[in-house]
Structure 1
Amino acid sequence: MKNSIAERIADFLQGYPPFNMLSHRALLQIATEVTITYLEKGDTIFKKDDIEHDNFYIVRDGAINLYYSSDDVKEITNIHDIGDVFGLRPLITKEPYKLTATANEESIVYGIPITVFQSVTDYNTQIHKYLITAFASNAFDPYTAEEAGEIFGDYLPNKSQDMANFQTANYTRSPITCSMESSLKKAAKKMSDHKIGCIVVVDDTKKPVGIITNSDIKNKIATGLFPIETPVTNIMSSPVMTSKKGLTIADGQLQMIKHSIGHLCITKDGTVNSKLIGVLTHHDVLVTLGNSPTVILKEINRAKRTKKLRAARLKGNSLLKSYIEQNIPLSHIINIISQINDAVIIRAVELALKKMPTEPPVAFSWLALGSQGRKEQLLFTDQDNALVFEDVPENRYAETQAYFLELAKLVTTSLNKIGFEYCEADMMANNPEWCKSLTEWKTQFKNWILKPDEKAVLLSSIFFDYNLVYGNESLVNDLTDTIFTTLEKTNLFYKFLGREAIKSPSPLGFFKQFLVEQNGDKKELFNIKSRALMTLIDAARLLILSKQIKGVNNTYKRFEKLAELEPNNKELYESCSYAFKALSKFKTKQGLLRNNSGKFIDLKTLTKEEKLKLRRCFKPIHEIQEILKIRFDLKNFA
């Protein structure tokens, strides 16, 4: 006879990690032993310093607060939602709880018996890895130290130190190694194949004797100090710094700071005299310290005030900085920060709707435009947005538009407080020009396309890169269909867009010098946006529109798509995609360095290597402009 309660529990568990890694039979075995606890708001599950329970927990309904307390100070470190696992400490450390868990609202939690769970997962390495990672990322406040700029600063006693002390470092297992007899060329090939930034040199007994990083290769090989075939022993850093498994983040930080290193070898007994089992990197420390997009997104979704949204978005900037420093691929960075930006806008709209006196009179869509619409906005810049609402009878148009203008005012004000400046050209949804019904928007786009002029092209460069962030998808799809249907009726619009894309000459002068600003407060600075990035952005938009490709807004993705569609020009398009990402990274680094948009670069701050890399990015800009001149017959188009 089936146990219907156990079946329902098993069905719930299989939807969430780590239980989704188990067979249904194993889930039923666990589910029959699960305890069900009903909690009122404020009820406690366990307290700091309590002896470990026989269970760990998963939230079935409601939400659970985890907070750290010391000297009568209580600080929430996380809020667990449905499907989140907590109370994992007994599985990892066999010691009392370091946090207190209470119900944030009426809740139901399932208690999973540790002994039963272990009996069915003993040989499941995937689950063990998940549990250690989850423990490392959820058991403390991930932001207190970071916001104070102290993650890699002086390690002073405070609450953040206490929490970091019991964090187990999540280091890289099975590190890539090479023998002492290897040549540097062979070791570098191994690093390239595995896409890693360091390789450990080991002796015949697998004990670490040295380490080689990308910096070693750059400083000792690229500069000509050693030939590429030199033995690894000539350029490796030795001796290596070591520690044993189970070290805390605090210990890892201290050793890295003390020895000015970015990599720590983990050995069986913690010394250089035993077998290498792992490597802890600077990046691993950042990840374990909770610099996590998932955590930031949770904060955004729970925010009830603009102040909280701003705090969460600022953490996104800290995340961006650490990603740039760790040389994470820009495509990954763009995807993460875009998700964070969209989540901020969504929550800003939701909070604004709660302030409105009534529900929206009709369906509507909130659109991000420009760099936000292309999902390329990494730094805080000005906001460009628009609002589309469902068609209404003429006698209701004014009042309907008035409602959405008031809503848009609340949203744009909130975004401004978060850090997105008002658009100087007033291209925002609180402007009646950019808050219209679907039919009015269709008419607007038709006019831009069929009657192009300088203003139409300028506005098109912003409005044609829109992205639905919140609201009714069908409205936006209808608008998009109208745009592409209208584009089929004319070639003149493409010529106007093409002229815009080729108007900026090469960023280099006749003698290959950078063309810098000649006047004003930006004199001698290089405008990386107008002289380089905008040409690539305009070219990608024009080419993708001309091929009637919908749903590809991001510039580098547009070039990647074009590479698929035109194999004969694949190399050029891929070069354009790379150049766009490299230039965007330059711009972002400058913005982070100077706390601005990064638009203007002081070339004196760049190394010779960086200037050379910039120049290489300009080659495809010239080539793509030549393609546009021929394809859209622009040579004689004035």
Structure 2
Amino acid sequence: MNTIAEHIADFLKEYPPFDNLTFQELSEIASNIHVLNLEKNAILFQINDVLHDSFYVVASGTINLSTIADAEETILNKCHEGDVFGLRPFFAKNNYMMTAKAREESIIYAIPIAVFRPFVANNSNVLNFLLESFAVNSRHTKDTVSGSKQISDTGFYVDQQTEMQYIQSLSYNNSPLTADQNSIVKDVAQLMTNAMVDNVVVTEKKHPIGIVTEADLSSKIATGRYPITETIDKIMSSPVVTVIENVSLAEAQLLMLKHNVSHLCVTKDGTSKSVVKGIISEHDLIVAQASNPGVLIKEIKRAQLAKDLKQIRDRLSDLIQNSIQKNVPLSHITNIAGEINLAIIRRAVELSILDLGSPPARFAWLSTGSQGRKEQLLLTDQDSILIFEDVAPEKYRDVKDYFLRLAKRTSSILEKVGYSYCPNGHMGSNMLWCKSLTDWTKQYNSWMNTPGENSNDLSSIFFDYEIVFGEPKIEEALENVIFKNATNNTLFFDFLGNDALRKNSPLSFFKKLILEEEGPHKGKFDIKTRALMPLIDSARLLILSSNIKGIKNTYLRFKQLAITDSKNAEIYLSCAEAFLTLSKFRTIEGLKNDDSGEYVNIKEFSKIDREKLKNALQPMKDLEELIKSKFQLTQFS
């Protein structure tokens, strides 16, 4: 073996995924590698270039991966020594979606995909590494430092690694063309042409035994290897790779790569011993990638009108529905939906600024309530506050006037997207909730230090907030005011505690669900007021009193409390799970009836779901006792 290849193999074995291969395997790969010397600023490939037949490893130097949006180049990732990039040809057939450019003089190893593919098929560690790198393109060097914002090879932010891919639903052909093994090739080719498809599944007793694609016709018939009068079993590829009906994008990609095939056959139980239900092609994977969450966020950034944002929000609803049907963990779905909701609100603020001109002062737009907690899976109402920096007294009126106009415009865009106006007027477009930092500081001081006197306009949603747009230091200043006032503030916690416990118990003394007795929702269960709100309120109360900053989401609040207050961990963890179960029931109800899902119809529940619901309500009693003893609440005001 020549010394250059040996040197390359020595280098590769230090880095994943090559550290999973034997030296023998590495030597074989190394002897097929092309070494590229790139000058500073040389471009290896750029957006929309046709895919290369190799992927790349940085031997020395640095390669910048960048994308261009709105005529602006954004560097998504820097690849250093040992980093793998340019994996797109492994997973997709469309052109490159980013540009690779040498930041300095660099040496790159080009590894031909045809040479590398067999090692991938035999080694699941290598396969998983490549799939993850493609989805995330994270740094995988010897001294990997994780925790940075991660970016995928398709050019969008992904915090939860390949989680996006696992949520991704796949649409595919549910009525595939089938033929039996004795059909004549000419007739089958005619069928394919008439149906405008590029494949036919060969079946025996409705079970798949092979597949014929356009590629088979061109490589085996057009070349004259077989006559057109031959039976189809002679040219079919067999056996077929089969999958179950609700396979995810990531799993489908893995299987195609692993078996080096361009089609997967969907069967009733996922094996070749059951009925054919559909066919997934590489094209279906490319289409699925276009509706993934990262792509939605990119489209939001480009949207110019409320109706563009509405269309994206409708697609988010489909994504949520598909994810729930696939039993994707609700905490994952909430994470992704939360990011997309915030991106929509951010874009609404940006569009308003484009209309009104630059703001006269720095400000922060905060989403409050369920949007601030990133728990809004359904199209419920909008809640927000606007805080602007302190300005000279003579400027105050004009500045406030600008921000009120900005808030009204933003709220109006959001209303067109489908987030209805808050019935209680808790929005930045309301004079009361659009003011300077000093005025907000006074407001919170008054609410927290004399809560009884201000109980009419004190809404707990003002303690759940997330900055959507503007100056992070303003949000920080508000947080400091809240936590300073919270220290040893028994009066405030007494008020919040009683408020949390005032919501009526969801279960009667005899463990029966308490249903609505009158009105339009008679006979239904108010899952929001009786079940979710007590959990949301209690988590907020406990997190504020434990002086834990920065955690706004109810599920994560309970998880954090279980760590901080370990002797009550069991109660908190049960509450975290209960919150997810109840939220899921509410979301399913809301998607079904196209409403807020507040009232669920227990009569339509299966026996198992009824039990699940009752079990989710059990930890509330313990939580109530815990709060009573922690805050010594005896009277219920």
Q: Name the TM-score class by shorter chain.
A: 0.5 to 0.7
Aligned residue number for residue 412 of structure 2: 413
| Contact 2:55/2:111, CA 8 A, preserved across alignment | no
Tell me: CA distance 1:54–1:482, structure 2 relative to 1, closer, same or farther (3 Å). closer
Q: How far, CA to CA, are the matches of 1:92 and 1:400 in structure 2?
A: 52
Q: Deviations over 1:303-359 (max 9, x none)?
A: 2332222222222111111111111111111111111111111122122211113x1
Tell me: CA distance 1:18–1:611, structure 2 relative to 1, closer, same or farther (3 Å). same
**1:223-622 residue pairs with structure 2 within 5 A?**
245-248=259-262, 252=265, 255-256=266-267, 261=268, 263-265=269-271, 289-290=288-289, 291-357=291-357, 359-453=358-452, 456=455, 459-488=458-487, 490-622=489-621
Q: How far, CA to CA, are the matches of 1:132 and 1:102 in structure 2?
A: 12
Residue 554 of structure 1 aligns to which amino acid in structure 2?
N
| Contact 1:409/1:430, CA 8 A, preserved across alignment | yes
Q: Secondary structure at the match of 1:497?
A: helix
Tell me: CA distance 1:56–1:116, structure 2 relative to 1, closer, same or farther (3 Å). closer
Q: Deviations over 1:489-534 (max 9, x none)?
A: 6311111111111112321223322111111111111000001110
Aligned residue number for residue 38 of structure 2: 32
Q: Answer yes or no: is 1:116 the counterpart of 2:110.
A: yes
Q: How far, CA to CA, are the matches of 1:476 and 1:243 in structure 2?
A: 46
Using the TM superposition, give the Cα deviation of residue 151 of structure 1 relative to its aligned residue in structure 2, in angstroms.
Answer: 5.3
Residue 540 of structure 2 aligns to which amino acid in structure 1?
R
Structure 2: gaps of 5 or more residues: 1-15, 21-29, 57-62, 78-84, 121-125, 138-151, 156-166, 178-190, 201-238, 247-255
Residue 424 of structure 2 aligns to which amino acid in structure 1?
A
Q: Deviations over 1:605-624 (max 9, x none)?
A: 10011011111111111111
Using the TM superposition, give the Cα deviation of residue 394 of structure 1 relative to its aligned residue in structure 2, in angstroms.
Answer: 1.3
Q: How far, CA to CA, are the matches of 1:496 and 1:323 in structure 2?
A: 39
Using the TM superposition, give the Cα deviation of residue 162 of structure 1 relative to its aligned residue in structure 2, in angstroms.
Answer: 8.1
Using the TM superposition, give the Cα deviation of residue 583 of structure 1 relative to its aligned residue in structure 2, in angstroms.
Answer: 0.6
Q: How far, CA to CA, are the matches of 1:37 and 1:213 in structure 2?
A: 39
Tell me: CA distance 1:128–1:580, structure 2 relative to 1, closer, same or farther (3 Å). closer
Using the TM superposition, give the Cα deviation of residue 390 of structure 1 relative to its aligned residue in structure 2, in angstroms.
Answer: 0.2
Residue 400 of structure 2 aligns to which amino acid in structure 1?
Q
Scaled by the length of structure 2, what TM-score is found? 0.66
Tell me: CA distance 1:281–1:625, structure 2 relative to 1, closer, same or farther (3 Å). farther
Q: How far, CA to CA, are the matches of 2:518 and 2:533 in structure 1?
A: 21
Q: How far, CA to CA, are the matches of 1:320 and 1:569 in structure 2?
A: 33
| Contact 2:64/2:101, CA 8 A, preserved across alignment | yes
Q: Secondary structure at the match of 1:522?
A: coil
Residue 507 of structure 1 aligns to which amino acid in structure 2?
P
**1:196-211 residue pairs with structure 2 within 5 A?**
none
Q: How far, CA to CA, are the matches of 2:76 and 2:111 in structure 1?
A: 17
Q: How far, CA to CA, are the matches of 1:309 and 1:576 in structure 2?
A: 35
Tell me: CA distance 1:421–1:464, structure 2 relative to 1, closer, same or farther (3 Å). same
Q: CA RMSD in A?
A: 4.9
Q: How far, CA to CA, are the matches of 2:580 and 2:48 in structure 1?
A: 49
Using the TM superposition, give the Cα deviation of residue 368 of structure 1 relative to its aligned residue in structure 2, in angstroms.
Answer: 0.5
Q: Deviations over 1:11-48 (max 9, x none)?
A: xxxxxx999x9xxxx99944539964999xxx9856xx
Q: Deviations over 1:124-176 (max 9, x none)?
A: 7356546887999979xxxxxx999975766799xxx989989xxxxxxxxxx
Using the TM superposition, give the Cα deviation of residue 292 of structure 1 relative to its aligned residue in structure 2, in angstroms.
Answer: 2.0
Q: How far, CA to CA, are the matches of 1:613 and 1:102 in structure 2?
A: 45
| Contact 1:64/1:101, CA 8 A, preserved across alignment | no
| Contact 1:18/1:130, CA 8 A, preserved across alignment | no
Tell me: CA distance 1:331–1:150, structure 2 relative to 1, closer, same or farther (3 Å). closer
Aligned residue number for residue 180 of structure 2: none
Q: How far, CA to CA, are the matches of 2:487 and 2:258 in structure 1?
A: 66
Tell me: CA distance 1:442–1:165, structure 2 relative to 1, closer, same or farther (3 Å). farther
Tell me: CA distance 1:557–1:62, structure 2 relative to 1, closer, same or farther (3 Å). closer
Q: Secondary structure at the match of 2:618?
A: helix
Q: Secondary structure at the match of 2:390?
A: coil
Aligned residue number for residue 10 of structure 2: none
| Contact 1:306/1:418, CA 8 A, preserved across alignment | yes
Q: Secondary structure at the match of 1:436?
A: strand
Tell me: CA distance 1:61–1:506, structure 2 relative to 1, closer, same or farther (3 Å). closer
Residue 528 of structure 2 aligns to which amino acid in structure 1?
K
Tell me: CA distance 1:632–1:305, structure 2 relative to 1, closer, same or farther (3 Å). same
Between 386-395 and 116-125, report the one with greater CA deviation.
116-125
Q: Secondary structure at the match of 1:549?
A: coil
Q: Secondary structure at the match of 1:550?
A: coil
Tell me: CA distance 1:489–1:394, structure 2 relative to 1, closer, same or farther (3 Å). farther
Structure 1: gaps of 5 or more residues: 1-16, 47-51, 66-78, 140-145, 167-206, 215-241, 266-270, 274-279
Residue 522 of structure 1 aligns to which amino acid in structure 2?
H
Using the TM superposition, give the Cα deviation of residue 114 of structure 1 relative to its aligned residue in structure 2, in angstroms.
Answer: 12
Q: Secondary structure at the match of 1:289?
A: helix
**1:125-274 residue pairs with structure 2 within 5 A?**
125=126, 128-129=130-131, 245-248=259-262, 252=265, 255-256=266-267, 261=268, 263-265=269-271
Residue 485 of structure 2 aligns to which amino acid in structure 1?
T
Between 296-305 and 545-554, report the one with greater CA deviation.
296-305
Between 326-335 and 509-518, report the one with greater CA deviation.
509-518
The number of equivalent residue pairs is: 490
Using the TM superposition, give the Cα deviation of residue 592 of structure 1 relative to its aligned residue in structure 2, in angstroms.
Answer: 1.2
Tell me: CA distance 1:303–1:117, structure 2 relative to 1, closer, same or farther (3 Å). farther
Tell me: CA distance 1:466–1:438, structure 2 relative to 1, closer, same or farther (3 Å). same
Q: Deviations over 1:98-131 (max 9, x none)?
A: x68899xxx9979x99993328993673565468
Q: Deviations over 1:213-259 (max 9, x none)?
A: 99xxxxxxxxxxxxxxxxxxxxxxxxxxx99945556x53xx34xxx
Using the TM superposition, give the Cα deviation of residue 460 of structure 1 relative to its aligned residue in structure 2, in angstroms.
Answer: 3.2
Q: How far, CA to CA, are the matches of 2:53 and 2:396 in structure 1?
A: 63
**1:21-100 residue pairs with structure 2 within 5 A?**
29-32=35-38, 36=43, 45=49, 63=68, 88=88
Q: How far, CA to CA, are the matches of 1:390 and 1:147 in structure 2?
A: 42
Tell me: CA distance 1:315–1:483, structure 2 relative to 1, closer, same or farther (3 Å). same
Using the TM superposition, give the Cα deviation of residue 468 of structure 1 relative to its aligned residue in structure 2, in angstroms.
Answer: 1.2
Tell me: CA distance 1:36–1:338, structure 2 relative to 1, closer, same or farther (3 Å). same
Residue 569 of structure 1 aligns to which amino acid in structure 2?
N
Tell me: CA distance 1:86–1:373, structure 2 relative to 1, closer, same or farther (3 Å). same
| Contact 1:506/1:618, CA 8 A, preserved across alignment | no
Q: How far, CA to CA, are the matches of 1:480 and 1:329 in structure 2?
A: 30
Residue 302 of structure 2 aligns to which amino acid in structure 1?
R
Aligned residue number for residue 268 of structure 1: none
Task: Tell me the percent identity.
Answer: 36
Q: How far, CA to CA, are the matches of 2:457 and 2:74 in structure 1?
A: 45
Scaled by the length of structure 1, what TM-score is found? 0.65
Tell me: CA distance 1:327–1:594, structure 2 relative to 1, closer, same or farther (3 Å). same
| Contact 1:374/1:554, CA 8 A, preserved across alignment | yes
Q: Secondary structure at the match of 2:365?
A: strand
Residue 632 of structure 2 aligns to which amino acid in structure 1?
D
Aligned residue number for residue 228 of structure 1: none
Q: Secondary structure at the match of 2:402?
A: helix
Tell me: CA distance 1:45–1:61, structure 2 relative to 1, closer, same or farther (3 Å). same
